[in-house]
Structure 1
Amino acid sequence: MDSTFRSAGSHVNVVVGPAVMLIGVGTAITAVVLTLVLGEAGFLALLIPAVLALGGGAFVLWGARRSRLRIDAAGFRWAGFVGAEQSVRWEQLQRIAPPTPGDRRLVAFALLHDGTAVPVRALWEPATVPSVLSGGPDHSAVQHALVTAHQQWLAARGGEHTPR
């Protein structure tokens, strides 16, 4: 039942982050080598963009690894590139409802037993992804996984709180 879903942007940023960090390392090495070979201390100024590239790449990689929707035996939790992680436990959940059109990040609504509807905004797709250009991302696989995991949890509990 354990599943993790990531957006296409997260998959790309797992490559982009380390690539930017590698550019930072290359810039730092170049700055040191040029300073030693040519004897000009001015090349050490290249260490500033090198440090910025290392930090920026690390931030992009951190955000890419962090943004996901994770389904497990206790419920599901999601986090974006920044912001607090959110979660819904299976005991709280009445049912999963399909999202309203227009929000690229909205995967579903979690309708809880207390009557609240929690928007599950988990998977951000950039505006240039082909599925977004053709009318919006298709989160049906994630929605199906959420519904299936909830049904499995209900079956294991003997059918309590059967979804309507």
Structure 2
Amino acid sequence: MVIGVLAGIAAIVLSVVMETAGFLALFIPAALALGGGAFILRGARRSRMHIDSTGFTWAGFLGQQQSVRWDALHRIAPPTSGDRRLVAPALLRDGTTVPVRALWEPPTLPSALTVGPNHAEVYGTLVTAHQRWLTARR
């Protein structure tokens, strides 16, 4: 976004100093940079996972926010191979499975290029939070 603002300022200054309107064409890449920066900022601000006493909620860079309540959750299964973004499948008491996917993972991440992603920390956090809820419920 900063590049877009700087390109817009440069277009105005160059047009005034050089006394030609040709530099106003820099507003096109400036607008593209501002739009791209706003898109990335929006996605980064909404990507999150929240664990509380009622369950857990997550939202990725794109897509809808999803949530699972502890009282509807039967267990959190270990991730299966094949889906690199799958953190864990949440098995619900009604028999359905909700895939908990990683919030964001760049394709050029070194672990993605070699052995694959490691979601063990997030998986362990979810299992621990569910175990605490089960313990407090008894």
Say whether the fold is shared (TM-score over 0.5): yes
For 1:134, the equivalent position in structure 2 comes to: 114
Q: Tell me, which stretches of 5 or more residues in structure 2 are unaligned?
A: none
- Aligned pair count reads 138
Identity of aligned residues (%): 68
- Distance in 2, matches of 1:80 and 1:52, equals 23
**Is 1:57 the equivalent of 2:20?**
no
- Distance in 2, matches of 1:86 and 1:122, equals 12
Within a 5 Å distance, the mapping from 1:88-127 to structure 2 comes to 88-127=68-107
How far apart are residue 131 of structure 1 and its match? 1.4
Pairwise CA RMSD of aligned residues? 1.2
- Distance in 1, matches of 2:20 and 2:128, equals 64
**Is 1:78 the equivalent of 2:64?**
no
Structure scoring higher RCO (CA < 8 A, sep ≥ 6) equals: 1
- Distance in 2, matches of 1:121 and 1:79, equals 9
Superposed CA deviations along residues 41-100 of structure 1, whole A, max 9, x for unmatched, are 121121121111111101011112222322222211112211111110111101100111
- Distance in 1, matches of 2:105 and 2:49, equals 13
Q: Tell me, which stretches of 5 or more residues in structure 1 are unaligned?
A: 1-20, 159-164
How far apart are residue 110 of structure 1 and its match? 0.4
The residue type equivalent to 1:98 in the other structure is P
- Distance in 2, matches of 1:136 and 1:102, equals 10
How far apart are residue 136 of structure 1 and its match? 1.3
Q: Does the CA-based 8 Å contact 1:97-1:109 persist in structure 2?
A: yes
The residue type equivalent to 1:124 in the other structure is W
Stretch deviating more after TM superposition (68-77 or 139-148): 68-77
Q: Does the CA-based 8 Å contact 1:67-1:79 persist in structure 2?
A: yes
Runs of 4+ in 1 over 3 A off after TM superposition: none
For 2:133, the equivalent position in structure 1 comes to: 153
Which of 31, 37, 51 matches 2:11? 31
How far apart are residue 142 of structure 1 and its match? 0.4
Q: Does the CA-based 8 Å contact 2:61-2:103 persist in structure 1?
A: no
- Distance in 2, matches of 1:102 and 1:125, equals 15
